Chains A and B, each alone.
Chain A
Amino acid sequence: MINRVVKNAEEAVKDITDNMTLLVGGFGLCGIPENCISALVKKNVKNLTCISNNAGVDDFGLGLLLQTKQIKKMISSYVGENAEFERQMLSGELDVELIPQGTLATRCLAAGYGMPVIYTPAGVGTEVAIGKPVRTFTYNGETKEYLEEKAFEADFAIVKAWKGDTAGNLIFRSTARNFNPMMAMAGKITIAEVEELVEVGQLDPDQIHTPGIYVHRVFQGEKYEKRIEQVTVRKRG
């Protein structure tokens, strides 16, 4: 088996440099690559373009890279809950492109499947459609307009999985899966950090979500805070 293991987050991100485009997995603070984000803060690379569904909160997730002004552009579907983000966006320091969530996911998928464009009805007739080719298709008896959206082209994808093996095979857990599998498929180079790294042979091939061919570097994260954005509970009884 090909060994995809790197020592730690610092080694995994060593050749991420200024002006690069990164796909960053996670939904809210769920399933985010905490260790790689910390390593990028430490490395202090600048002018990053980050494609990620959300932008973290002020002091966690991608919010950490916003605080240090390392991100020049965010491509996201929803960016609430972050005051520093709001400040940088309103002052024009940060370029923000808002795109529909399904479009974001499918543009990743297209990259991983080797297809340069997708057609989606999301955003037809809205400002999202401005400047994009529109085509009409009849499908399943329904004639509708579809927007042409491009597959992402990113230098690196940084994802977080629950378990991984030394060959880079990944298993995700619960809703921490979210954008991680399709982003893993979409990076020119994909870095996966995992909660538990095991030897090859210890994961059931039938249970693998992302085959190691998509994962160029894998390491076990030093620690996971796994912060919860909104703890909501019900009373017993």
Chain B
Amino acid sequence: MLDKNGIAKRIAREVKDGMYVNLGIGIPTLVANYIPEGVNVVLQSENGILGMGPFPFEGEEDADLINAGKQTVTLLNGSSVFDSAMSFGMIRSQKVNLTILGAMEVSENGDIANWKIPGKMVKGMGGAMDLVASAKNIIVAMQHVNKAGESKLLAKCELPLTGIKCVKKIVTELAVLDVLPEGGFRLLERAPGVSVEQIKNATAGKLLVEGDIPEMVL
């Protein structure tokens, strides 16, 4: 079973040289720490950065330079800053190649719910609806089951949706799965020490298991 860093590490292998990538808050942010050397990617932050760098050194924070999570960040050589309309323009026109974000639920047809729990304080969707509606390649980083032990991979989402038929791949602490265009989660890899049976038990939606399922290489 993987911890949060393990999930991030596995997702980092999906990030290919030359990609422009938008990382959501939480586990997706950790992915930046595991992108292999020699793989050149440009991180997009939807408040208006391409080429986002690491956090600044103490004393070098700049109030005018933050990321979409409102944390102080830095710019790398070759980076650019721009306004919010252009930022979502490059997302909508699919110039941003890969979106990695968290989710509360994903359904077997690729619907995602990650912004609202009825009855609880709603903070808003931020840029999530724009990202999932437009990105060609969306990877979800999340726990396989929620705190109550219920599967987050469902036949149909129960929570209010963020977007429909958009998720392509899911990486959890247990497995890597594809979302098939015709519907269903196809099991691709098991986390170290996790059995297919465990994954079956934790998946409420339709799960396709074909042949031997390899263990993840991290």
- Contact check, B46 vs A175: say whether CB atoms are below 8 A apart: no
- Contact check, B57 vs A182: say whether CB atoms are below 8 A apart: no
A124-B61 Cα distance, complex, nearest whole Å = 38
> Which residues on B sit within 8 Å (CB–CB) of A233?
55-61, 72
> Which residues on A sit within 8 Å (CB–CB) of B69?
230
* Given A121-B133, A182-B85, A175:B64 Cβ within 8 A: yes
- Across the interface, B125 reaches (CB within 8 A) one of A77, A177, A226, namely A77
Query: Could you count the A-B residue pairs with CB atoms below 8 Å apart for me: how many are there?
Result: 174
- Contact check, B124 vs A79: say whether CB atoms are below 8 A apart: yes
- Contact check, A30 vs B57: say whether CB atoms are below 8 A apart: no
Minimum distance in angstroms from B106 CB to a CB of chain A? 14
A89-B121 Cα distance, complex, nearest whole Å = 9
- Contact check, B72 vs A232: say whether CB atoms are below 8 A apart: yes
- Contact check, B83 vs A178: say whether CB atoms are below 8 A apart: yes
> Which residues on B sit within 8 Å (CB–CB) of A121?
92, 133-134
A228 contacts the other chain (CB 8 A): yes
- Contact check, A101 vs B126: say whether CB atoms are below 8 A apart: yes
Question: 0/1 per residue, B89-106, Cβ < 8 Å to A?
Answer: 101100000000000000
A173-B75 Cα distance, complex, nearest whole Å = 13
For residues 54 through 87 of chain B, which have their beta carbon under 8 Å from a beta carbon of chain A? 54-67, 69-73, 75, 81-85, 87
Binds A, one of B1-9, B10-18, B157-165, B207-215: B157-165
Q: Report the interface size class on chain B.
A: 35 or more
A115 contacts the other chain (CB 8 A): no
- Across the interface, A236 reaches (CB within 8 A) one of B57, B89, B125, namely B57
* Given A77-B125, A105-B87, A126-B163, A178:B47 Cβ within 8 A: yes
B23 contacts the other chain (CB 8 A): no
> Which residues on B sit within 8 Å (CB–CB) of A100?
125-130
A62-B201 Cα distance, complex, nearest whole Å = 47
Q: Report the interface size class on chain A.
A: 35 or more
Minimum distance in angstroms from B102 CB to a CB of chain A? 15
B147 contacts the other chain (CB 8 A): no
A229 contacts the other chain (CB 8 A): yes
* Given A101-B130, A121-B92, A175-B48, A230:B123 Cβ within 8 A: no
- Contact check, A177 vs B82: say whether CB atoms are below 8 A apart: yes
Closest to B123 in A: A80
> Which residues on A sit within 8 Å (CB–CB) of B45?
175
For residues 169 through 212 of chain B, which have their beta carbon under 8 Å from a beta carbon of chain A? none
- Contact check, A125 vs B164: say whether CB atoms are below 8 A apart: yes
Minimum distance in angstroms from A6 CB to a CB of chain B? 24
Contacts A102-B88, A124-B164 known; 16 new A-B pairs at CB < 8 A: A27-B70, A77-B124, A79-B124, A86-B121, A98-B125, A101-B46, A102-B129, A120-B130, A122-B133, A123-B129, A127-B160, A162-B64, A175-B64, A179-B84, A180-B83, A232-B73
Can you identify 23 A-B contacts, CB atoms within 8 angstroms? A28-B47, A30-B66, A53-B84, A77-B125, A78-B124, A79-B124, A98-B125, A100-B128, A104-B84, A126-B162, A126-B164, A175-B65, A177-B82, A178-B83, A179-B84, A181-B85, A226-B63, A227-B63, A229-B70, A231-B61, A233-B72, A234-B57, A235-B57
Binding site for A on B (CB under 8 A): 45-49, 54-67, 69-73, 75, 81-85, 87-89, 91-92, 111, 121-130, 133-134, 160-164
